[in-house]
Amino acid sequence: MQINIAILPGDYIGPEVMAVALPVLETVLRRGGHSLKYSTHAVGGAGIDAAGKALPDATLEACQQADAILFGSVGGPKWEKLPPHEQPERAALLPLRKHFRLFANIRPGFLPKALLDASPIRSERIPEGIDMVCIRELTGGLYFGQPKRTTVLPDGDSEAVDTMIYRKSEIERITDVAIATARARRRRLLSVDKANVLETSVLWRKTVTERVAATAPDITLAHMYVDNAAMQLVRAPASVDVLLTENMFGDILSDEMAVICGSLGMLSSASLGDVKNSHGLPFGLYEPAGGTAPDIAGKNLANPCAQILSAALMLRHSFGLHAEADAIDVAVKKTIADGIRTADIAFGAIAVSSSEMGAAVLARL
């Protein structure tokens, strides 16, 4: 199989962890008899520096020619004084999501037994670690609904409006992603909403219920209000298999999930849409859950696992290469279990550098 991807390393630790992940990707593909074709392009702050905008035309063009995007992370202090709409994250990621209609964000929340110390949750509450997936609707809801504005009222007071809006079809397509994810796992789906207060949530709950009943009788579905879900994630995270929710709730709950799973440096994510690539599989953008970590950039300290695991997600979803993706996941788990850790997950033990961590994963691959 020809794997044709656009690589967008981004800023600060982005290029560092990308440089560590790439040999892992190349190795697993070579071993499977596949060929990797990629080109590397500036995005985020690097795009602003090189071409005057966070998503240069040449970068977008290269993404359109590719079957998937492997993304690092963007932003940082160097560009913080720019107007909000020109800042790297907003001006690169949001247009990419919009352009490729990436409506589904898949974030695995994974804490292996060997890393229990990394979680703020007491180990006896999660003796087997954590293994869940958050499916977040990414292009609807409160963040995009119109009207969205701030007005000064005749009496001199100010009023701001955001609009939360969902169509049934938007809920159905994200439910289908969650069903497919649950089918590949423990077949348990938890849909999170606020149906006791919000109209959009009433439609959400009804649509998810009907969709699962009609197309996925093999899936066990439960519903939970978002405030309760925020508590249950801390109280009993191991009980969750696949968590499905709308855009804003997913933004918040997926970060809560990240923190209970230890370091941001371990967590990958996939954003998928209805655009198919040349293999007839979903075009996707794959990136670490964390940001550019300017505090540790340039020191070879960053944990490269999130970037490596993002490459595995890409092989799984955009290329259907499950054995290769599994091999990467297993190599990362073995590395951690063998006690090889970057500083963010070392907890007093001797920490290895980013490149040493990458070499250890490669050796176990």
* DSSP H helices in the chain: 13-31, 45-51, 57-65, 88, 94-99, 168-183, 199-215, 226-235, 247-260, 305-319, 322-337, 354-364
Q: Are 336 and 361 in contact (CB under 8 A)?
A: no
Q: Which of 78, 251, 326, 334 is catalytic?
A: 251
x/- track of binding to ligand NAD for residues 17-46 (CB under 6 A): x-----------------------------
Whichever of 63 and 216 has its CB closer to ligand NAD, that residue is 63
Are 225 and 195 contacting, i.e. CB atoms less than 8 angstroms apart?
yes
| Residue 8 near ligand NAD by CB under 6 A | no
Total number of residues binding ligand NAD (CB under 6 A)? 23
Which three-class secondary structure state does DSSP give residue 62?
helix
Q: Are 238 and 113 in contact (CB under 8 A)?
A: no
Instruction: For ligand NAD, give the closer residue by CB, 207 or 304.
Output: 304
Task: Considering the complex, state which of residue 237 and residue 358 has its C-beta at the smaller distance from ligand NAD.
Answer: 358
Judged by CB, which is closer to ligand NAD: 93, or 132? 93
| Cβ 278 to ligand NAD shortest distance, Å | 26
Each residue 49-78 as x (binds ligand NAD by CB under 6 A) or -, in order, gives ------------------------xxxx--
Least distance CB 327 / ligand NAD (angstroms): 21
270-281 b/e (C-beta count within 10 Å ≥ 16 → b): bbbbeeebebeb
For the question of residue 251 being annotated catalytic, the response is yes
Nearer to ligand NAD, 201 or 254 (CB): 254
- Phi and psi based region of residue 12 (left: phi greater than 0; alpha: psi -120 to 50; beta: remaining): left
In whole angstroms, give the CA distance from residue 181 to residue 306: 19
Nearest to 254, CA basis, from 106, 72, 73, 104: 106
User: What's the CA gap between 310 and 315, in Å, rounded?
Assistant: 9
What is the distance in angstroms between the CA of the first residue and the CA of the last residue of the chain?
20
Q: In whole angstroms, what is the distance from residue 297 CA to residue 7 CA? A: 19
Find the shortest distance in angstroms from Cβ 161 to ligand NAD.
Answer: 25
Contact pattern from residue 88 through residue 127 relative to ligand NAD, giving x for each residue in contact according to CB under 6 A and a dash for the rest: -x---x----------------------------------
Contact (CB, 8 A) for 286 and 276? no
State which residue has the least CB distance to ligand NAD.
Answer: 291
Whether residue 37 lies in the annotated active site: no
Residues 264-303 within binding reach of ligand NAD (CB under 6 A) = 264-265, 287, 290-296, 302-303
- Residue of 131, 162, 176, 255 marked catalytic: 255
Q: Which is nearer to ligand NAD, 76 or 284 (CB)?
A: 76
Positions marked catalytic:
143, 194, 227, 251, 255
Residues forming the site for ligand NAD (CB under 6 A): 13, 17, 73-76, 89, 93, 263-265, 287, 290-296, 302-303, 306, 344
